[in-house]
Amino acid sequence: MVAIKQISLFVENKPGRMAKVSKTLSDAGVNIRALTVAEAGDFGVIRMVVDDPEKGYQVLHDNGFTVSETEVLAVEMKDIPGGLYEIVNTLGESNVNVDYAYAFVTTKAERALLIIRVDNLEKAREVLTSAGVKLATKDEIQKI
Amino acid sequence: MFDYWNPHIERMPPEDLSKLQEERLKSMVHYVYDHSPFYKERFKEAGVKPGDIKMLSDLSKLPFTYKVDLRNTYPTGMFSLPRNRVVRYHVSSGTTGKPTVVGYTKDDIEMWSDSLARALTSIGLGAGDVIQVGYGYGLFTGGLGLHYGAEKIGATVLPTGTGNTERQIMLMQDLGSTAIACTPSYFLHIAEVAEKMGVSIQDDTSLKVGVFGAEPWSDETRRRIEEATGIKAYDIFGTSEMSGPLFTECQEQNGIHVWSDMFLIEVIDPETGEQLPDGETGELVITTLNKWAIPLIRYRIGDLTVINSEPCPCGRTHPRLMRILGRTDDMIVIRGINVFPSQVESVLMTIPEVGDHYQIIVDRKGPLDIMKVMVEVTETGFSDKIADLMSLSKRISKELKGVLNVVADVELVEPGTIPRSEGKAVRVIDKRKV
């Protein structure tokens, strides 16, 4: 399976909350690859891709955070104009909805990685692969 | 199959119980008239003499006693006996105004522990059980009350009091507590701390019974406690004016047995003072039948409840309090609508995404009362989609509106952020009073 595990956290929208999350991960030696914060008034959701999702989930859970794991796709996209279009257009034409997405660029590659949560993971994987788009695996994320 | 502490009294036919109550009421009325200047005066004002009370139905001729009477006669103006007959004081916290002082003769302490001995036996406890008393010891009646009752039935008492939760859990394991008595909110906290310590109450301790009270709690919380920890959770009731904790449910878990040979109970319409029939919700009024240091006549406790006088399947013939909604003092009025924290709790505890702890914050914005309910989001059903979280808080708000008829803002907070209490939980913060 090419889906990777994303960690999501429920956090109150208050000073110091992000600090507590990142301190917990840092103490456990878990490295964050990509992160996004969605806010909705009094609270927000932090979503992130880390090098060791099992460990990341465990330490956050043990420290009393409300945390869940979500399956997402890490899609490689060309770091050029039109790179994103190619991917989301492929998904859109196949009627796959993107619930949310965030991207990051790795230091080594000329490629960027787009993390997406979709409503139909299997179909997304299928249409992207047949369009020649590469999906990063868990191991590849770990090695970045 | 059923155990009784005092089968003769507990299973006495209702008509015999009434006869016993009638005799005791008549002598109690004479006793207070002769011993308490307060009651002599109060009876005169009401134009009633002890001789007017000839049968139980004459009870309604007697004047009420109010909590404010105890406060106005602070510290010991309501005592019917001199100090050389009093062996103990307890003092209530008095969050509103002066504290109230209660006193006990040797016989009063005996009656109190006898009441609890019957109650604890009715939930299957006895010699061989280890009862961990996690109520506060000291001026509060909870700790010492349960302590005496538990010793009376020959159980082993582990008098932990409140606090030092990790040690409570260690001792529970090491000394094999089979029962715990504390506030339901403190037990939830104990369960939470145990989980963090890697201790499963169900698998790693011998705990089988909880005796929970001193704050109103709902059947929904009972269900959560029982499911999460595998124990049977029983409700206990009593106030310091009556002695302290006195009565519990039996193993049927269907109403709290009030011992008729000790207390005469009525339910009245709080507005008119008229007696209400069985099955109707009203304010609980008690008359003590064999309590001597501070006997009370028609004392308005303030709890709203329903009485059921039908004999219980457990064989006990004494009336049951079916549901204690909470004290009238606990009631909050939001835009003219009465709201009990226990109603809010019963709604919240049916929603699996909501944690066991909650807090209600009442404030005023311009001329309008606003109510905010803070709940912790559990991992059960936590979705990382913002839309799902928004719809969760909308759903909670809608369910609250359905039951309370009041609009409440729901604030989702992180687990562990609502303060845990070791005694009575602070469920309501009313900023309008500050």
Instruction: Kindly indicate the confidence band of residue A142, based on its pLDDT and cuts at 50, 70 and 90.
Output: confident
Instruction: Kindly indicate the confidence band of residue B70, based on its pLDDT and cuts at 50, 70 and 90.
Output: very high
Both tokens of B96, joined, read 């509103």
Question: How many other CB atoms sit within 10 Å of the CB of residue B326?
Answer: 21
Give me the residue from A17, A38, A70 closest to B386, CB to CB.
A38
Q: Of how many residues is chain B composed?
A: 434
Contact B213, B245 (CB under 8 A): yes
Q: Is the pLDDT of residue B434 over 70?
A: no
**Chain B interface test: which of A11, A46, A66 (most B C-beta within 10 Å):** A66
pLDDT in tens, B390-411: 999 999 999 999 999 999 999 9
**Contact across the interface for A68 and B382, Cβ inside 8 Å:** yes
Question: How many other CB atoms sit within 10 Å of the CB of residue B44?
Answer: 12
Domains defined along chain B, listed by start: 1-328 (3.40.50.12780), 331-430 (3.30.300.30)
Predicted pLDDT at B369: 92
B160 three-state secondary structure? coil
Helix residue ranges, H only, B283-432: 341-348, 386-404
CA closest to A62 among chain B residues: B196
With a threshold of 0.85, tell me whether the complex ipTM lies above it.
no
Q: Is the pLDDT of residue B1 over 50?
A: no
Give me the residue from B196, B390, B414 closest to A66, CB to CB.
B414
Contacts of B412 in chain A (CB under 8 A): 10, 42-43
B267 three-state secondary structure? strand
**Contact across the interface for A45 and B389, Cβ inside 8 Å:** yes
pLDDT in tens, A48-106: 999 999 999 999 999 989 999 999 999 998 888 998 999 999 999 999 999 999 998 87
> Which one has a higher pLDDT value, B379 or B222?
B222
pLDDT in tens, B78-99: 999 999 999 999 998 765 567 8
Contacts of B394 in chain A (CB under 8 A): none
**Residue B134: CA count within 13 A, CB half-sphere:** 32
| Beta strands in B276-367, from DSSP E residues, in sequence order | 282-288, 299-305, 307-308, 320-321, 326-327, 332-334, 337-339, 354-365
Give me the residue from B379, B386, B390 closest to A67, CB to CB.
B379
Closest CA to B378 of B426, B416, B427: B416
**Residue B364: CA count within 13 A, CB half-sphere:** 11
pLDDT in tens, B271-296: 999 999 999 999 999 999 999 999 99
**Contact across the interface for B379 and A66, Cβ inside 8 Å:** yes
Give me the residue from A6, A66, A99 closest to B415, CB to CB.
A66
pLDDT in tens, B163-206: 999 999 999 999 999 999 999 999 999 999 999 999 999 999 99
Give me the residue from B196, B382, B412 closest to A42, CB to CB.
B412
Predicted pLDDT at B182: 96
Domains defined along chain A, listed by start: 4-71 (3.30.2130.10), 73-143 (3.30.70.260)
Helical packing angle, B341-348 and B386-404, nearest 10°: 140
Amino acid letter for position B257? H
Omega cis (within 30) before B75: yes
> CA-CA distances (angstroms) from residue B86 to B102, B112, B129, B292?
10, 14, 31, 9
Predicted pLDDT at B373: 96
Predicted pLDDT at B215: 86
Long-range contacts (CB closer than 8 Å, 24 or more residues apart) made by B280-286: B280/B306, B281/B305, B281/B306, B281/B323, B281/B325, B282/B306, B283/B328, B284/B321, B285/B64, B286/B242
Contacts of A67 in chain B (CB under 8 A): 379, 382
CA closest to A66 among chain B residues: B379
Measured CA to CA, the distance from residue A16 to residue B90 in angstroms comes to 45
Q: How many Cβ pairs within 8 Å bridge chains A and B? A: 52
Q: Is the pLDDT of residue B360 over 60?
A: yes
Q: Which helix (H) or strand (E) holds B150?
A: helix B141-152
Predicted pLDDT at B95: 58
Contacts of A17 in chain B (CB under 8 A): 414
pLDDT in tens, A35-48: 999 988 889 999 99
**Contact across the interface for B383 and A12, Cβ inside 8 Å:** no
Q: Provide the 8-state DSSP code for A128.
A: H
**Contact across the interface for B382 and A65, Cβ inside 8 Å:** no
Calculate ∠ Cα B294-B295-B297, nearest 5°: 135
**B419 burial type by CB count under 10 A (0-12 exposed, 13-18 middle, 19+ buried):** exposed
CA closest to B384 among chain A residues: A8
Predicted pLDDT at B239: 92
Which of B167-181, B213-227, B367-381: highest mean pLDDT?
A: B167-181
Predicted pLDDT at B331: 86
Average per-residue pLDDT for chain B: 94
Q: State the smallest CA–CA distance between residue B382 and chain A in angstroms.
A: 7
**Contact across the interface for A70 and B384, Cβ inside 8 Å:** yes
Both tokens of B410, joined, read 């729901």
Q: What is the phi/psi pair of residue A12, to 5°? A: -75, 150
Measured CA to CA, the distance from residue B248 to residue B267 in angstroms comes to 18
Measured CA to CA, the distance from residue B183 to residue B236 in angstroms comes to 10
Instruction: Kindly indicate the confidence band of residue B136, based on its pLDDT and cuts at 50, 70 and 90.
Output: very high
Contacts of A99 in chain B (CB under 8 A): 385
**Chain A interface test: which of B353, B413, B414, B420 (most A C-beta within 10 Å):** B414
**Contact across the interface for B414 and A67, Cβ inside 8 Å:** no
